[in-house]
Amino acid sequence: MFKFVLKRIGISLMILFFASFLVYGLTVHSGDPLADLREQNDANRQNRIDQRVAQMRLNDPWIVRYGDWLRGILGCVRLQCDFGENRSGQDVNALLANAAESTIRLVLLATILGILVGVFFGVMAAIRQYSGFDYSVTFIAFVFYSLPAFVFAVLLKEFGAIRFNNWLAEPAFNTVFIVLVAGIFAVFVQAIIAGPMKNRIISGAVAFAAAAAVFVILDVTDWVDNPIAGLWMPITTGIAAAVMFTALLSSITNRRAIFSALGSAGAMVLLVVIFAERLEQPTWTFLIVLLLAGVALAVVISQVFGGYAKRSITWASIWTVVSVGFAVLVDYLARNWSDYVELVRGRPISTIGSMSPNFRGADDFWLSLLDTSTHLILPTLSLTLMSVASYTRYTRSSMLEVLGQDYVRTARAKGLPEHTVMTRHAFRNALLPITTIVAFDFASLIGGAVITEKVFGWKGMGELFETGLRNVDPDPVMAFFIVTGGIAVLMNMLADIMYAYIDPRIRR
């Protein structure tokens, strides 16, 4: 495996070298870097032209300039990367650091959400093949997959920000809206539930009543303007997560499993209570340490009280703790929501930029996190839904292929529970082609983020690339190329390693 990884690294570096040579050559021949100065009529024009020629070394052959750029990149081996300077003399290293942080934050979140949602819907569509749910998911996936990124981003700005902010001025849920949304949720739930029609009708009715009740409570309590926060949120989430992950990863009839998951949730809630004062103004380091402490307690509880099948019980407990940790984040954000809305003058969902200019709550951890999160919503949603479409289609196809294999029929013939057949036998083998897609999708999302960032006014990798290409300035363009190309190589390497983890046969 080690030799294989080294061989792949060597091949990838060769590909990056030849690709960088091609991209550099295409960039320097894509236009005239002095075009904007030639069109000016001021007396200082020739002096400015001479300064730019000297700054960009336009009198040198482009191959010589490429060689100097390559020597600067090779300095990364000594952790001293030099991406050069743009035509204004600014250090591309500093520009790249700011741009990459903004874009990778956006793309990483979109990738994680796309995988979770897309894989879930793909698996459910495969299990409910040729059902109404399957047809609906497939249709929606094709719509999002075919919709141009800029069109979808513009629609999100109009309906997800402008009109939604207008509604937030006087939020109210009318009867038609409640019935419509609750009805859609009921259809979704009954489509997922397996079994006879009677069970599906009951499940749909319960889902409709629950969704309608939630909207009525939100309307009566004015929750949108003043979210009701408190310890009930992580407690409720912990109970729900314990039941769900125990049912998915172990068995709901296993008392030791359900008690271990509930105990882990209780331990995490206890940590939150103990450090409640520290959570008023935490740091990311403290939050990560707190979550790791909860995970450690979950592992101990599962190993001591889990009984048999400790591995699956441990994972169920860990995911329960992670769910409680996420609920704590949501709880504290809800506590600060009203203050944040007041600071942004009643329009919390932003349509431009990655942060509010001159934001007065920048020194407050939760207000700053709210500002960052609300700016992430629309561009992340734009990228996520396009990823969800591809993950859903590929997961459905992969699951259907695996479900027809002999070992799945054998597992069912042995009398294994259906959830065990799906999670341990079918889903794990269906992950192999999906792993490849994830590797390519992460790098392609960075390229697709160029359009999304343009629509939402983000100062990220997209702007760096676009500005460099428009100015016929190769160094910023090459910085974009090295980051995206390097990530593509890294993700493919991780995909190979994940293959060995998912399929033990590859390790041999």
Please write the tens of the pLDDT for every residue from 9-47.
788 788 888 989 999 999 999 888 988 888 888 778 889
Residue of 317, 315, 307 lying closest to 260 (CA atoms): 317
What's the whole-number average pLDDT of the chain? 85
Question: What pLDDT, on a 0 to 100 scale, did the predictor assign at position 505?
Answer: 63
- Which one has a higher pLDDT value, 200 or 234? 234
C-alpha to C-alpha distance for 119 and 243, rounded to whole angstroms: 21
DSSP 306: -
Strand partners, 91: 85
Two tokens, residue 374: 């609300």
Gyration radius from the chain CA atoms: 27
- pLDDT tens across 329-377, in order? 999 998 888 889 888 888 888 878 777 777 887 788 999 999 888 888 8
What average pLDDT score do residues 171-187 get? 88
Question: In whole angstroms, how far apart are CA 275 and each of 166, 269, 270, 291, 504?
Answer: 38, 10, 9, 12, 42
| Residue ranges of E strands in 49-143 | none
Q: Output helix, strand, coil percentages for the chain, rounded to the nearest 5.
A: 80, 0, 20
C-alpha to C-alpha distance for 166 and 451, rounded to whole angstroms: 26
> Quick one: 253 exposed, middle or buried, by C-beta within 10 A (0-12, 13-18, 19+)?
exposed
Task: Of 354-358, 395-399, 470-474, 493-497, give the lowest mean pLDDT range.
Answer: 493-497
| Phi, psi angles (nearest 5°) of residue 361 | -100, 20
C-alpha to C-alpha distance for 396 and 393, rounded to whole angstroms: 5
* 318 confidence band (pLDDT: 50, 70, 90): very high
* In contact, 272 and 294? CB cutoff 8 Å: no
Q: Where are the alpha helices (DSSP H) in 128-231?
A: 132-146, 149-155, 163-169, 175-192, 197-221
* In contact, 441 and 114? CB cutoff 8 Å: yes
Strand partners, 343: none
C-alpha to C-alpha distance for 85 and 478, rounded to whole angstroms: 11
* Spacing of C-alpha 152 from chain mean position: 17
| Phi, psi angles (nearest 5°) of residue 91 | -70, 120
Question: What pLDDT, on a 0 to 100 scale, did the predictor assign at position 193?
Answer: 66
pTM of the model: 0.77
Two tokens, residue 210: 């629950």
Two tokens, residue 304: 């001591």
Name every residue whose Cβ is closer than 8 Å to that of residue 109 and which is 6 or more positions away in sequence. 376, 380, 384
Strand partners, 18: none
Is 229 a residue whose pLDDT tops 80?
Answer: no
